[in-house]
Amino acid sequence: MNLSRPPSFSGRGSVLWVSALQSLLIVVALAAMVFGINYFGRELQIKERRAEVAFQLELFHTKLQVEIDTGMQVARSIALFLSQSDTLSEDAYARLAASAGVNKEALINIAWAPDLVISHVYPIAGNEALIGLDYRDLPTQIEQVQKVKDTGTPALIGPLSLVQGPKGVILRVPVFETTQGDPQFRGVLSLVYNLDLLLASVGMTDDGLGLEMALLTESGDVSLSLGTADYADWSVQNPVAEPISLLGRSWTLMAQPSGGWAQADMERVIMMAGLSIASLIIAIVSIAAIWLAASLKEAERKKGLSDQRFDSAVRNAPGVFFTYLQSHDGQDRLEFISERCRDIWECEPGDLYKDPSRLWGQDGAEQHLEWTATVSRALIEGERWNFVWSIVTPSGTEKWLEGWGHPNPDQSEGAKWDNFVLDITEDRKKDLELEQKAMQVLAAQKQESIGQLTGGVAHDFNNLLAVIMGNLELLLDDATDDGQKRLITNSLKATQRGADLTRNMLAFARKARLEPKLIELNQLVLDTGSWTRRVLPANIDVVTDLQPDLWAIEADPSSTESALLNLILNARDAMPLGGHLRISSKNMLVVESQITTSGGDLPPGAYVVLTVEDTGTGIASEAQDMIFEPFYTTKSPGRGSGLGLSMVQGFMQQSGGAVAVVSTIGEGTTFKLFFNAVMKDPKAAQEETGSETEAEFSQARILLAEDEEAVRLVLVQSLEKMGYDVCAANSGDAAYLHFVHDKEFDLVLTDIVMPGKLQGPDLCANIRNDSPDMPVIFMSGYASTTDQALPNDDKTIRLTKPASQAQLKTAIETVLLRRDA
């Protein structure tokens, strides 16, 4: 061998070298292919997992949005009531808050803070410390509360540490009074949620999810972490991000699987590394096929995932999705509607595709025009539309719907909208109930104000009438000319009519004291009918059918007259086109409890029945159980207070009687008043009562207490003219001083309400501590709370101003007779 030449690569050796080199290249290529396939397979797995996590975050976002929107609806319903009510008891507030449809598991409390100071909390248990809490004393909350007040815009605050301990979020809603002029700030209504329970209600804390999540603020700070991993270690993991916007606040929800994204499958690498060179061509073809199949599978998976997201959102949504096209040719079309349309419109989707006008109910044309105007404004302003309308379903059910819509990206054929509709019938009913309660409160306040005004006017007017009547009677006693006597007598009659008028005013104001007397009901009906005919139209025919030998009754004449008048006026209102009104009376002996009244079965006994029948519109059967409820009325607003029949029922029950009603729609209504019969002649009873006061007590000494000077002077002159010795004082305190220095009085005549410490009942009590048998006569212009303190014995009499000389003398002689009996 010639060692001076280098070896040559030729022949078989060169072939082997080339083969080896080729084999090496094939092995390297195969290894690269195996690792490439493994890498891309892992990336596909990660993409699929990321898509699942992204869908889960979108679902959490949707559920949180529904919870907050539900809270807003509840808050607005409560805020509407609070904006119209000046005062609200704790019980009323608790009922109002308890009736609200809200997530009661996550809700800690609903707090009402007029002028930024919490006055009402529901539930009160566990939240007692919040009462009286001033937001201005909470540095962590006052800035956001002040912002809500200044902007007039609801806001979602948090996450933050609550006064109760746990972390939470707060939905704050400003409340303004808008009844008159510019809106006036009333306070802030807050719905406080436990954050952990709120997140649990939407499924975010479910351990089975296998996710780690973090909630980032707009500045990038971590405000909440769910899971075990530290968010600071996520930067290399590329987590999924879901932007969240709720009531003007923005967050970013980050998530990744527990432990990070999937790692490379090394067994796959080992298996692929074992492929032989002989399968290289097949492997290349297979790889190409796998790539093609993977691409198709990914496309199908994405499409399926997108469809799954949409179907899941549609199925889980509480309302109906639909796409509506206002085409250029003027023909509106429904391009899509979800299956839950059956629950709202009670018809198949195909029926709505054929006739989209069904979406707008029976008044579809008018409501569709209103909707068109609404969406047109929204399109011009670039905002979503919001619209509320009513429908009547094929079953006859009336429903209220609320819809929202966004413009669809495809506007080539016309204005296309993607919309969402909710059935808000129950919320509408609650709103109407709240409005009705607010109107009842306002009506009660108005009635109370009118009653106080009427009672005050009547009281002062009675004092004036007392002066006028007293002076006229004094003039009549001294008059000798028949003409003068006639004029004075006429004036006294007019004064008495004025007294009757004030008595009616006091009855309206519920400040009149019932004074039961034996009365002839037939005569009362005739007297009432003689002047009520003037308030009845000519097209109403009035007929009276009164039993001649009617038993007497014992009742307050004025209240009985008012009850009859109320029934007559109700009958008039029920016959706007005219009709027949029949008023009848009869005796009735009830042996068994066979008659049902508003207070239950009528007990056996003797009754006088007063019946008022009309041929009016009638009362629906479902309303007959409610007509005696205060403030309930079937009349249009402004036509009735809803108190008339309740006052009639109260008077009858107080008088020991009852009231019954029978009514048929389109035929008329019959009211029956059952009075307890008294087997006694009213005239004979009056003569018997008068005989008790025939004795003379002309030398009696009377202690008089009256603060009104004019009334006091008239009483002194009248009593002295009757022969009594009178010592007069202008207050209860002054009268008691007279009594302390001189106890030799036969009787005390006193007003009930006077200036000073001692009112009429107090003066009576102090005097009777020394003289237990001292007769006392109380005089007053109306019934007040002080009347409850009046003694109830036979040595005490109450007179209503103005009282005539005859009434005053009868009362004095009666009480002195009882003292000496």
pLDDT digits (tens, 9 = 90+) for 419-444: 888 888 888 888 888 887 777 677 55
Give the model's pLDDT for residue 7: 43
The tokens of 609 are what?
Answer: 């029945």
Cα 22 → chain centroid:
89
* Mean predicted confidence (pLDDT) in 463-483: 77
The region of weakest confidence among 15-24, 149-158, 300-309, 310-319 is 15-24
Give yes or no for a contact between 269 and 33, defined as CB atoms under 8 angstroms apart. Answer: no
Q: What is the pLDDT of residues 210-247, one digit of tens each?
A: 777 877 777 766 666 666 555 555 554 678 888 887 77
Mean pLDDT lowest among 449-463, 560-574, 602-616: 449-463
pLDDT, tens digit, 9 for 90 and up, residues 130-146: 888 888 888 878 888 88
- CA 239/CA 323 separation, integer angstroms: 34
Measured between alpha carbons, how far is residue 254 from residues 58, 240, 782 in Å? 11, 6, 75
Range with lowest mean pLDDT among 350-364, 387-401, 705-719? 350-364
| Single pTM value for the model | 0.38
pLDDT at 611: 94
Share of the chain above pLDDT 90, in %: 9
Average pLDDT over residues 565-586: 89
Query: In angstroms, rounded to a whole number, what is the distance separating the alpha carbons of residues 675 and 282?
Result: 111
Q: How confident is the model at residue 649 (pLDDT cuts 50, 70, 90)?
A: confident
**DSSP codes, 193-253:** EEHHHHHHHTTTT-GGG-EEEEEE-TTS-EEEEESSS-GGG-TTT--EEEEEEETTEEEEE
Segment 87-100 shows an average pLDDT of 77
Pairing mode, if any, of strands 211-216 and 222-226? antiparallel
Where does the pLDDT of residue 690 fall: very low under 50, low under 70, confident under 90, or very high at 90 and above?
Answer: very low
What pLDDT, on a 0 to 100 scale, did the predictor assign at position 177?
80
Rounded to a whole number of angstroms, the distance between the first and last alpha carbons of the chain is 172
pLDDT 10s digits, 486-540: 778 777 777 777 776 666 555 555 555 567 788 898 988 888 777 677 778 888 8
Please state at what angle helix 644-654 crosses helix 557-574, rounded to 10 degrees.
150
The pLDDT score that the predictor gives to residue 602 is 75
Distance between CA atoms of 812 and 717, rounded to whole angstroms? Answer: 15
Model confidence band, residue 609 (pLDDT cutoffs 50, 70, 90): very high
Reported in sequence order, the residue ranges of 274-358 that DSSP labels E, i.e. its strands, are 320-327, 332-337
Please provide the average confidence, as pLDDT, over all residues in the chain.
76
- Across 27-31, 245-249, 251-255, 293-297, the highest mean pLDDT is recorded for 251-255
**Which of 186-190, 308-312, 595-599, 815-819 is predicted with the least confidence, judged by mean pLDDT?**
595-599
Query: Over 80: is that where the pLDDT of 194 sits?
Result: yes
Token pair in block for residue 342:
């059956």
pLDDT at 437: 77
* pLDDT for the residue 303: 75
SS3 per-residue string spanning 678-695: ECCCHHHHHHHHHHCCCC
> Which of 362-366, 478-482, 551-555, 703-707 shows the lowest per-residue confidence on average (mean pLDDT)?
362-366
What are the structure tokens assigned to 734, written together?
């002054």
Mean local confidence (pLDDT), 778-796: 69
SS3 labels along 755-806 = CCCCCHHHHHHHHHHHCCCCCEEEEECCCCHHHHHCCCCCCEEEEECCCCHH
Model confidence at 613, pLDDT cuts 50, 70, 90, reads very high
Confidence of residue 35 (pLDDT cuts 50, 70, 90): low
Taking 60 as the threshold, does the pLDDT of residue 24 lie above it?
no
Q: What is the mean pLDDT of residues 165-178?
A: 83
CB-CB contact of 705 with 748 (8 Å): yes
- pLDDT class for 275, splitting at 50, 70, 90? low
Per-residue pLDDT for 581 more than 80?
Answer: yes
Mean pLDDT calculated for residue range 313-328: 77
When pLDDT is cut at 50, 70 and 90, the band that residue 10 belongs to is very low
Q: How far apart are CA 302 and CA 304, in angstroms?
A: 5
Task: Supply the pLDDT for residue 688.
Answer: 46
